[in-house]
A and B are shown apart, each in its own frame.
Chain A
Amino acid sequence: MSFYKPGFRHPKAPENRIGLTESAYEGAISTLCAGCGHDSISAAIVRACWESAISPHRVAKLSGIGCSSKSPTYFLNQAHGFNTVHGRMPSVMTGAHAANRSLYYVGVSGDGDTASIGMGQFAHIIRRNLNMMYIVENNGCYGLTKGQDSATTDEGTVNKKGVENHFESIDLVGLGLQLGASFVARSFSGDKTQLVPLIKAAMAHKGFALIDVISPCVTFNNHKGSTKSYDYVREHQASGVMMDYVPMADEITIEYDPGSTEEVTLHDGSVIHLHKAESEYDAHDREAAINTLQRYKSEGKILTGLIYLDPQAPDFHEMMGTTATPLNQLDEDALCPGRSALARINAALS
């Protein structure tokens, strides 16, 4: 880890649409190992939020427990954060979202936090289509307890001690697709070009946006024989659908070949362009996405990019019929039925 983060920034550092430089989106200094994939993800979140000109204080960042879950401290200092308990971020997130639907919500979790102890809550938050971005910083091992296999460790891989894993791994993208997530992506912490636009689109998406980011653990899972090492992922990463993101305020200036590119307008008016490696790939077809995912896996390739998107799916609050005003802003007038209503209830009970 580093011990010092210089405060000096170039006086002419560029400002975004709301007049903030990128430094306004930074967080505390990371205590993760030097070279940790998670730090690249934090940097990508900083870049994406800055480029999208999201007010940092309008974001709430929540996490569980583990290396990944420490990282919300390392971005968006002006956002409230909540480092909850192991595997339970989704429930705290659900309650927080119920209380105030007007904020951006970023959930950061890891493969242990999501695919093992938090599997139940993960499954159920997807079903609710909570309007949030859920990033899994997936390194295929338990970093903070020194490298034990996790549930996303691929079958047949060998850990640092040379022991082979015989258990089937859990594919969080596959799970997200099956459980009805409305935005499903996979990326790689070492591929900022792909990750930053994905985060921007995920933040703009109205609904549950899952990004499974393979994020190598440099200390315990970056060796030969691992499928979550920098080298392995670089060699096997295959982009199904690359995308770029155009915020609502910007004019679209580049033209794309319509055969392999599709334009999708998100709920907030922003636009994304999907560039498909296979022109017949349909990112709105859940069944096809599941099949493609399986096919890539059997071909030994890691499917990355935006894998599935449904910008129209009703989110949690729409399904629940909640009022437009955030619940935490309602006062006695809106909340308390008052004495006369109570008198009528008493009468009905007597």
Chain B
Amino acid sequence: MNAEVKTQSALNDFVVKFANVNGSGSSSANHMFAKAIFRMGIPVSARNIFPSNIQGMPTWYEVRINEKGHLGRRGETVDIMLSVNPQSMPRDVQEVEPGGYFVYDNTKPLDLRLIRNDINYIGIPLTQMTNTEYSEPRLRQLFKNVIYVGALAALIDMDFEVLTRLVSDQFKSKEKLIQPNIHALEMGYRYTKKKFGCPINLRLEKRDLTGNKIFVDGNTACGLGAVFGGATVAAWYPITPSTSVAEAFEKYASRLRLDPASGDKNYMVIQAEDELSAMGMVIGAAWNGSRSFTATSGPGISLMNEFLGLGYFAEVPAVLIDVQRAGPSTGMPTKTQQSDVLLAAYASHGDTKHLLLFPASPKECFDLTAQALDVAERVQTPVILLTDLDLGMNDWMSEPFEWDDARVYDRGKVLKAEDLDAMAEAGERFGRYLDKDGDGITYRTFPGTHPDKGAYFTRGTSRDEYAVYTEDGDKYVENMERLQRKFVTALKYLPEPVVTQSDGGSKVGVIHYGTTEPSMREAIEILAGEGCHLDDLRLRCFPFHDSVREFIEAHEQIFVVEQNRDSQMRTLLVNELEIDPARLIRVTHYDGTPINARKIVEAIRGQLMDAEVTPIRSVKK
């Protein structure tokens, strides 16, 4: 260790990053590291930064430890960089904060060009240790990752017992692997403890701040939400970063959704030939009375436009989970963005619009997926859940999932055979698109319901109230107006935004949604510390509730913070609420990394200084 370097010190508040090679099996060791911190009761977040590649390219795992609970990405720098990938070392070294640590494999001497005089270097002979210990190349590679977790555990004073217990839990079903993993952890731990002054000044201390929280990724939460929400048909086409939604659904359904007598599946997962088909299958299943969903990402949404238009116009329920990634086109397939907002809102030709949901945590992924299945059937239209790669593929500390056993699925307005008979007796004619209740939502029947009542023809062409094809302009307009009414009704079934008022209320407000949440909370706290108090509204759905308009009207300035270039949510707000665009200030971040608090603070601070808006806090009444 370089003695002259001023070392940083922090307790339960720093960022560790692992630089590795894709395909080297590092993800489970990295996950073990983050999970152990979580189990020590310390708030933690972990992010995989990975290439569109299976083997060989650089990959990173960034862990933020923050006992205040700020779990968005902190910024572009890290405090400890553990780099075992010579390919990325020059870049990795530069990311270390002055006074931070660069931990590396010193089996071979470090390239002198990588030496900075303002950071600490800790060399651990990982390759040498694995070569001595293991003869098989694959084991050498795998256990190298475990050894460095052990080394880090010593450096930052991780509770070693928590770590070993975690290994036992992780390999519960493969008991053979427990001892070798613990042995590798110990190798790294002991070597480091003996060789260096441990712990360093960046260290952990047990806390009780994680309570009953869980550590889980958003895609698992969505898949699980679909199981609990009663989805029976999942049709999908593999695409990063949404693949693990369908996989999670299948994993949990295969355990929890089997017919107890026969062992047969009370669900079906269909891997379609493309996204187009996947969406067609969802529409077909929902038309026939099954709750169905698909999961995809931007390129898939482009292909699904055609069916989304059919779903909207023919009024067929569908649930689509869009795990957004960086576009346009193939874009950056393994990087995060919130750039499908406008596409999703207005997908397909003609006058179309769709119900959107914006979860911000795994708990919300679970809740809103289940809710989407209800809303889709209640409103008889596609519902799109917009998450993103950051939420979908990374482990987040989340409130535990909850379910009320008394909950009944809202199947919406569906007529059964007895209803049809009763109507006939009362002399009432069934009209599939007849707005009996005046809320824009009409009654439907499923195929096979009744021998001579309730059959109708579903089509993407214009039709009258009785589902009979028509090109009559008045009938067409009537129908299109009813679809608008239906969207007003839909608001009753959609989640209100979450408003957080600053102390005393402010003239300046912020609007954000989705995974901007943790960084937004942190930014608001930082700005408050500087005397800038901001009110905040987190959108959870489209269309917008009246409370969104009221929030905007109640503030002189509104920052709309989002993760795309074109301020798409701002456009949607301006367009739908007819807001003066000058009142909505863009704050955007779209380089493919999750938005971070520093960036938001800089943007808002800069604007407020330029605008000379002081004092920001309104007078307390």
Contacts and interface: CB of A to CB of B under 8 A. Distances in A.
A124 B257 contact: no
B404 A339 contact: yes
Given A81-B458, A103-B447, A95 B285 contact: yes
B547 interface: no
Contacts of B281: 91-92, 94-95, 98
Contacts of A123: 273
Interface stretch (B135-143, B449-457, B504-512, B600-608): B449-457
A120 interface: yes
Contacts, number: 224
Given A83-B458, A94-B277, A95-B233, A342 B403 contact: yes
B107 to A, nearest CB: 37
B228 A342 contact: yes
Given A82-B457, A99-B288, A339 B265 contact: no
Contacts of A338: 403, 405
B401 A98 contact: no
A99 B264 contact: no
Contact of A78 (B224, B279, B401, B452): B452
Given A81-B458, A328-B232, A96 B288 contact: yes
A38 to B, nearest CB: 17
A334 B228 CA distance: 11
Contacts of B264: 321-324
A58 interface: yes
A334 B259 contact: yes
Contacts of B216: 349
Contacts of B68: none
Interface string B254-277: 001101001011111010111011
Contacts of A88: 276-277, 280, 306-307
Contacts of A96: 284-285, 287-288, 447
Interface stretch (B112-120, B185-193, B207-215): B207-215
A265 B409 CA distance: 43
A13 interface: no
A336 B291 CA distance: 12
A73 B268 CA distance: 30
A337 B257 contact: yes
A98 B403 CA distance: 27
Contact of B408 (A57, A79, A97, A332): A332
Q: Is the interface of A mostly helix, strand, loop or mixed?
A: helix
Interface string B563-584: 0000000000000000000000
Nearest to B253: A337
Interface residues of A, number: 57
Interface string A306-335: 000000000000001111110110101011
Interface in A72-116: 72-73, 77-85, 88, 90-100, 102-103
B460 interface: yes
A98 B270 contact: yes
B265 A84 contact: no
A337 B259 contact: no
Contacts of A99: 232-233, 284-290, 292
Interface string A176-217: 000000000000000000000000000000000000000000
A85 B310 contact: yes
B510 to A, nearest CB: 31
Given A96-B288, A98-B268, 9 more contacts: A57-B447, A94-B277, A95-B284, A95-B286, A320-B270, A323-B262, A335-B266, A336-B407, A349-B216
The 6 nearest A-B residue pairs measured at CB: A95-B284, A91-B280, A99-B290, A95-B281, A328-B289, A80-B447
Interface of B: 212-216, 224, 227-228, 230, 232-233, 235, 252, 256-257, 259, 262, 264-268, 270, 272-274, 276-290, 292, 306-307, 310, 400-405, 407-409, 445-452, 455-461, 469
21 contacts: A57-B450, A80-B458, A81-B457, A82-B457, A88-B280, A91-B281, A91-B284, A95-B280, A95-B281, A99-B289, A320-B268, A321-B265, A322-B267, A327-B285, A328-B288, A328-B289, A328-B446, A330-B232, A339-B402, A350-B212, A350-B213
